[in-house]
Each structure stands twice: as C-alpha cells, then as structure tokens.
Amino acid sequence: MLKTLWSAPLTAKLGVLVIICYVFVAVLAPVLAPYKETAIVGASYELWSDEYLLGTDNIGRDMLTRLIFGARNTIGIAFATVLLAFIVGGTLGMLAAILGGWYDLVIGRIVDILMAIPSLVFALLLLTVFGTSIPSLVIIIALLDSTRVFRISRSAAMNVVVMEFVEAARLRGEGMAWIIRKELLPNITAPLLAEFGLRFCFVFLFIASLSFLGLGIQPPLADWGSMVRENATLITYNDITPLLPAVAIAGLTVAVNFVVDWMLHLSSGLKKEHQ
C-alpha cells in the first residue's frame, strides 16, 4: 500500500495528507480545542485576538473550538452515513446481480422510484416527519444514498457473476455469502472504493447543506454548515470568519476528489502516465 502511494501523483499524495490532517483534528478534537464545544467564553462576535484566535460566534462561543469540533461531528456523521449506505446498497446490489429475476426487477423499480424524487426535497420531508436527531439524519440520508450505491454495485457485480469462476463456485455448492465474500467483493473492490470517496463528498456536502438550512446537525453540536448560517451577518462587516467553515468543507472535498481520481485511474487498468 505504501509503495503504491509513493508512486501516486502529487495531487493524490496531497489529498491523502490533507485527509490525514482532517482525521487527526477530528479524533483529537477535545485535546486540540482551547475550550469546551458548547462553552460560552465571551461576548458575541469578539474580534480575533490572542485569547480568541478566530473570535467568537453569535452567542460568544470560541470559533476555533467550534471549527475543530465541527470536524469531528461533520466528518464522523458523514462517514457513518456513507458506510451504512454502502452496507445496504452494496448488499442489495450484489444480491440483485446474483439472483436476478423478480428480485432484481422489484428492487430495481423501487430504486428507480426513489431516485426520481429530488434527494434534498425528499430528505427535508422525511426529516420534518421523523425529526432531526442524529440517528434519523444518518438513517434517512443513508437510505436515500443507498440507491446510488445499489446501481454501482449491481453494475459492477453483473460483469463478474457471468464469469466462469463464479459459475464453478455455484456448481461446487458454495453459498450466497461465500460467493459474495470470496468471488464478487475482491473483483469489485476498486470501483466501490472510488465510489465510496465520491459518495462521501456528496453526503458531506449534503449534510452541510441541511445544517445550513437548519435541518441537519442540531445545536449545541458544532457543525460547519450551521456555523456558516449562524455567523453569516459578519460578512457584511468585511469579516471572513463565516467563510472559514466553508473553506474547511471545500478543502476536504477537494482532497477526497484528488484521491478518488487516483483510485479511479488505478481501477481503470490504464498504464501510468509519465509525470
């Protein structure tokens, strides 16, 4: 793995480095943050100073602290959501490729119906009905996103299930779980990993958008999307503080896309181009 990464293009190396930095901040947020996540430490909209490096927000909480804890909440919830989406959508997609017939037809039509509804509108409707708790947020977005994962996993698996080694495994009497684990997954891992990166970007931005609209991660938890909304008034005073969460969102999105582009190149089987 390290050897492969060492031969990666500069953009991929930069992307991996940035992702590691974000994960480091998210994991060690309580250690790195100067204050507690929800602590009110000063007056509203304090200017940048030695005491408050990035000033304070609309109710006097330290912006640097909120930015650091926002990494843990936003990234952690997005990762959990994408992981659940891949477990559900990937499993259903591989089963559809193996079983075919009525199962593939029924699941495919249900997925078509769900994909026909705009995701943001559907998510807003469901969150209004079921509430905006973190479990509801994760489950609803994961189920909506699993439709895209279903399509990708089914398409990739369809190219594998027709191979002779899969048919040989069936004739040997191997079970469904064994075929998925030993025959399908090893042959579709690369495109699924690349899709995982892309879906993470979409879900990450989707959750930030919902938080900006007030239906995502709820106060008092720190979240980059809601931080932009809560402090947007500072922009009228030429204060760039509200833009910092947006920059954090953009930085991680670009970094993940750099890595995904590299992984797509690897999975395509194309020869490495001379840099």
DSSP label at 184? I
Q: Is 21 exposed, middle or buried (0-12, 13-18, 19+ CB in 10 A)?
A: middle
What are the φ and ψ backbone dihedral angles of 40, each rounded to 5 degrees? Answer: -90, 115
Domain boundaries, the chain: 51-268
Instruction: Report the candidate in 274, 256, 267, 270 with the shortest Cα–Cα distance to residue 11.
Output: 256
With cut-offs at 50, 70 and 90, classify the pLDDT of residue 1: low
Tell me the per-residue pLDDT of 256-270, one tens digit each, with 9 for 90 and over: 888 888 877 776 654
Give the lowest-confidence range in 55-69, 189-203, 244-258. Answer: 189-203
Tell me the per-residue pLDDT of 53-112, one tens digit each, with 9 for 90 and over: 888 888 889 999 999 998 888 888 999 999 999 999 999 998 888 888 888 899 889 998
Whole-angstrom distance, CA of residue 71 vs CA of residue 216 = 15
CA quadruple 159, 165, 170, 171: dihedral positive or negative?
Answer: positive
Whole-angstrom distance, CA of residue 125 vs CA of residue 103 = 28
Amino acid found at 1: M
DSSP label at 215? S
Whole-angstrom distance, CA of residue 154 vs CA of residue 93 = 4
* DSSP one-letter string for 62-89: BHHHHHHHHHHHHHHHHHHHHHHHHHHH
Q: Are 58 and 230 in contact (CB under 8 A)?
A: yes
Whole-angstrom distance, CA of residue 190 vs CA of residue 172 = 27
Domain 51-268 belongs in CATH node 1.10.10.10: no
